[in-house]
């Protein structure tokens, strides 16, 4: 989260377009994640900024476009994390496990991102569809998965014939659910999925699950 924290120059306005925009995005991210799109209040966002509501409309055009901008920046962060993925030197099993751990860690560390994605799904991804930036950016993680999978399958280590997108879905679903559904799951089953005491347990469980799936003897269909 690129947060902006310079103290206001005492007396007189500050004129810094980039800073103002970044600050609006920071606060808007929190507010949308807190209350959903409809529940978020433009006035509330403005109030928690060092600028005014006028600026939100000046820079972003409206509530809808602001939400889109928030989404775009949130996705940029995860793409960046995936860019830094360096697992090509590992053997396929270790590489997949490492990849799963990176996803696990990122989701855990960015609950606001998870909430934004949940919210965007309630709105059937209209903002992503409308965004040029988000439209056709394939995840860098996908390319990595593709290469590891190929290696593992050629060497005969991986028996499953999944493709990269499906494996990505499998890993994401576990990591996403753990964060997104934390509250209802906790309320209904009395178990906090985010409890630090169980963190390693779930992190290992995810890796075990994925590797077990990839390396299991498949019924000769």
Partner DNA sequence: TAGCTAACGTACTAGTTCGTACATTGTGAG
Partner DNA sequence: CTCACAATGTACGAACTAGTACGTTAGCTA
The first and second tokens of residue 45, run together, are 């966002």
Helices (H) and strands (E) in the chain, counts: 12, 0
**C-beta of 68 vs 103, nearer to DNA:** 68
Q: How far is the CB of 209 from a second copy (least distance, A)?
A: 4
Q: Is residue 58 a contact point for DNA (CB under 7 A)?
A: yes
Q: What is the DSSP letter of 123?
A: T
Among 53, 147, 182, 199, the residue binding a second copy under the rule CB under 8 A is: 182
Among 12, 54, 132, 187, the residue binding a second copy under the rule CB under 8 A is: 187
117: partner contacted, choices a second copy, DNA, none (Cβ within 5-8 A by kind): a second copy
Please check whether residue 158 is in contact with residue 215, taking contact to mean a CB–CB distance below 8 angstroms.
yes
Q: Is residue 80 a contact point for DNA (CB under 7 A)?
A: no
Instruction: Specify the residue for token string 């507010």.
Output: 31
Among 5, 10, 13, 135, the residue binding DNA under the rule CB under 7 A is: 13
Spatial separation of the C-alpha atoms in residues 184 and 188, rounded to whole Å: 6
Q: Is residue 105 a contact point for DNA (CB under 7 A)?
A: no
Spatial separation of the C-alpha atoms in residues 64 and 67, rounded to whole Å: 5
Length of the chain: 221
Q: Is residue 130 a contact point for DNA (CB under 7 A)?
A: no
Q: Which stretch binds a second copy (CB under 8 A): 22-30, 53-61, 102-110, 202-210?
A: 202-210
**C-beta of 53 vs 79, nearer to a second copy:** 79
Q: Is residue 153 a contact point for a second copy (CB under 8 A)?
A: no
Instruction: Specify the residue for token string 């569809």.
Output: 129
Please check whether residue 60 is in contact with residue 131, taking contact to mean a CB–CB distance below 8 angstroms.
no
């Amino acid at each position: 989260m690129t947060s902006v924290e310079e103290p206001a120059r005492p007396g007189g306005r500050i004129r810094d377009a980039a800073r103002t925009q970044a600050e609006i995005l920071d606060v808007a991210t929190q507010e949308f994640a807190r209350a959903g799109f409809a529940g978020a209040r433009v006035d509330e966002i403005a109030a928690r900024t060092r600028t005014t509501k006028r600026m939100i409309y000046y820079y972003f055009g409206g509530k809808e476009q602001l939400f889109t901008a928030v989404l775009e920046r949130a996705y940029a962060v995860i793409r960046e994390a995936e860019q830094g993925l360096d697992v090509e030197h590992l053997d396929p099993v270790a590489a997949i496990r490492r990849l799963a751990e990176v996803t696990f860690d990122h989701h855990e560390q960015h609950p606001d991102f998870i909430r934004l994605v949940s919210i965007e799904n309630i709105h059937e991804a209209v903002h992503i569809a409308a965004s040029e930036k988000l439209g056709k950016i394939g995840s860098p993680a996908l390319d990595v998965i593709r290469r590891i999978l190929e290696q593992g399958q050629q060497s005969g280590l991986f028996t499953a014939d999944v493709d990269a997108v499906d494996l990505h879905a499998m890993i994401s679903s576990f990591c996403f659910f753990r964060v997104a559904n934390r509250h209802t799951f906790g309320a209904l089953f009395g178990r906090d999925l985010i409890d630090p005491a169980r963190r390693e347990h779930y992190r290992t469980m995810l890796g075990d699950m994925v590797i077990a799936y990839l390396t299991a003897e498949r019924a000769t269909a």
